[in-house]
Copies of this chain bind each other. A is one copy, B any other.
């Protein structure tokens, strides 16, 4: 097991340390491409070494292609006196992301099809995008919209949509075996805090600690835009997908909703089974929900052509809290204790996934003599203790058909206790880890 990660489980310090990073990232106007993404990754890079990738516009990515790069300098709707009624500099949600440039005088009637507001939430600005259709628009509080006169208005969007690059970054923590795992978090949302500065911050917190461990698997923390970012990463890493043993998309980790794990497409993969072991012990209100093909980047990792063992960890899921995709998803929505619990859950899942493996009992005919190896009390007549039970369970099920998670599921014993028993049996020469490639796939196939 990974000791430093365990320490994370017990501490709220990482959550408190995450606040300045989130505060610095909040005002930046991110989108799926552009300088806002690069500025965000600059901030992350102060905490975590990142390898950056810039992928040119037009690069074919499966059924998609990398879009033009979007950058924006200014945007507003002004009245005839020049007063800005909607001003990008007041809140970067005011402009529909990927809006093409516009500079025009328009009546309200002409402008209306380009205005987005929430009548049922008149004080919140909605978040809208137009990545794949050349279009422009403004988002605003419905209360402000109601005050608009008939116009005319001066409508300006000073943006650029032009060939450039899509930017993503990853922090790779090398492992001792050929197996790999991935943590993906999206970086494309402008001034929205829970979605997804919280995910970025939690990933950074855990990756920082994991860098000082010697994990079994190679862990890749990827920071990229939603949909096109994960597709791009997948297209550039197709050769290594067969080595991916586990994975998570993470985000929406700072709000007050319960920890929510969304299962991978098959629903019985190692990541799903780890969540079942870990999350109820972190929080009794944690929920595990079944896969559905709508959501965040797990959609791409779990598409049938990849079908990777990738689940999703959030608190409130997408669309399931009122402030979702509005200006009310700001830093005040988040609390350190929620983020701390999320970090503990993420760290614990990584620790279990990294320690999980199948062993081979090297003395499978009858029980081996644990006593002569110092693993068992010598005066008989009373029942064995918890650790001795764990030794017996690991021996019993180390037959090539069960990994440590399966032993935890069947025995009801704590995964960490079983991992310590497994290590003791390996030290005593009574068991041996089965190499991941092949057997792991066999285990997956059986599950």
Cα-based distance from A62 to B361 in the complex (angstroms):
13
Q: Would you call B128 and A363 a contact (CB within 8 A)?
A: no
List which A216-267 residues lie within 8 A (CB) of chain B.
227, 230-231, 234-235, 265
Chain B proximity of A364: nearest CB distance (Å): 3
Stretch at the interface among A82-90, A159-167, A292-300: A292-300
**A30 interfacial by beta-carbon distance below 8 Å:** no
Q: Would you call A381 and B63 a contact (CB within 8 A)?
A: no
Chain B proximity of A187: nearest CB distance (Å): 16
**A379 interfacial by beta-carbon distance below 8 Å:** yes
**A411 interfacial by beta-carbon distance below 8 Å:** yes
Q: Would you call A128 and B381 a contact (CB within 8 A)?
A: yes
Residues of B contacting A304 in the complex (Cβ-Cβ under 8 angstroms): 361, 364, 395-399
Bits for A268-311, please: 1 = Cβ < 8 Å to B, else 0: 00000000000000000000000011100001101111110000
Cα-based distance from A285 to B230 in the complex (angstroms):
47
Stretch at the interface among A19-27, A68-76, A147-155, A367-375: A367-375
| Interface residue total, chain A, C-beta cutoff 8 A | 62
Bits for A351-369, please: 1 = Cβ < 8 Å to B, else 0: 0000000000101111111
Residues of B contacting A302 in the complex (Cβ-Cβ under 8 angstroms): 396
List which A191-235 residues lie within 8 A (CB) of chain B.
227, 230-231, 234-235
Q: Would you call A389 and B294 a contact (CB within 8 A)?
A: yes
A401, closest chain B residue (CB): B304
Cα-based distance from A311 to B59 in the complex (angstroms):
53
Q: Would you call B128 and A380 a contact (CB within 8 A)?
A: yes
Residues of B contacting A49 in the complex (Cβ-Cβ under 8 angstroms): none
Copies of this chain present: 3
Q: Would you call B265 and A396 a contact (CB within 8 A)?
A: yes
Residues of B contacting A63 in the complex (Cβ-Cβ under 8 angstroms): 363, 365-369
Q: Would you call A367 and B133 a contact (CB within 8 A)?
A: no
Residues of B contacting A64 in the complex (Cβ-Cβ under 8 angstroms): 366, 369
Cα-based distance from A392 to B292 in the complex (angstroms):
9
**A10 interfacial by beta-carbon distance below 8 Å:** no
Cα-based distance from A366 to B308 in the complex (angstroms):
11
Residues of B contacting A387 in the complex (Cβ-Cβ under 8 angstroms): none
A364, closest chain B residue (CB): B305
Partner of A294, one of B130, B293, B318, B384: B384
**A135 interfacial by beta-carbon distance below 8 Å:** yes
**A186 interfacial by beta-carbon distance below 8 Å:** no
Residues of B contacting A128 in the complex (Cβ-Cβ under 8 angstroms): 379-381
Partner of A369, one of B132, B137, B325, B382: B132
Chain B proximity of A30: nearest CB distance (Å): 14
Residues of B contacting A137 in the complex (Cβ-Cβ under 8 angstroms): 379
A325, closest chain B residue (CB): B381
Cα-based distance from A318 to B380 in the complex (angstroms):
13
Residues of B contacting A132 in the complex (Cβ-Cβ under 8 angstroms): 369, 371-372, 378
Q: Would you call A62 and B382 a contact (CB within 8 A)?
A: no
**A338 interfacial by beta-carbon distance below 8 Å:** no
- Given A116-B379, A128-B380, 20 more pairs with CB closer than 8 A: A61-B366, A63-B367, A64-B366, A126-B381, A129-B380, A130-B378, A132-B371, A235-B365, A292-B389, A292-B392, A292-B393, A293-B393, A294-B383, A300-B367, A303-B367, A304-B395, A304-B396, A304-B399, A306-B365, A318-B383
A residues contacting B by CB (< 8 A) are 61-64, 96, 116, 126-133, 135, 137, 227, 230-231, 234-235, 265, 292-294, 299-300, 302-307, 318-319, 325, 361, 363-369, 371-372, 378-384, 389, 392-393, 395-399, 411
A-B contact pairs, 15 of them (CB 8 A): A63-B366, A64-B366, A128-B380, A129-B380, A130-B378, A132-B371, A137-B379, A234-B365, A265-B396, A293-B396, A303-B366, A303-B396, A304-B364, A304-B395, A307-B399
For the complex of A and B, the 6 pairs showing the least CB-CB separation, nearest first, are A305-B364, A305-B365, A293-B392, A293-B396, A129-B380, A304-B399
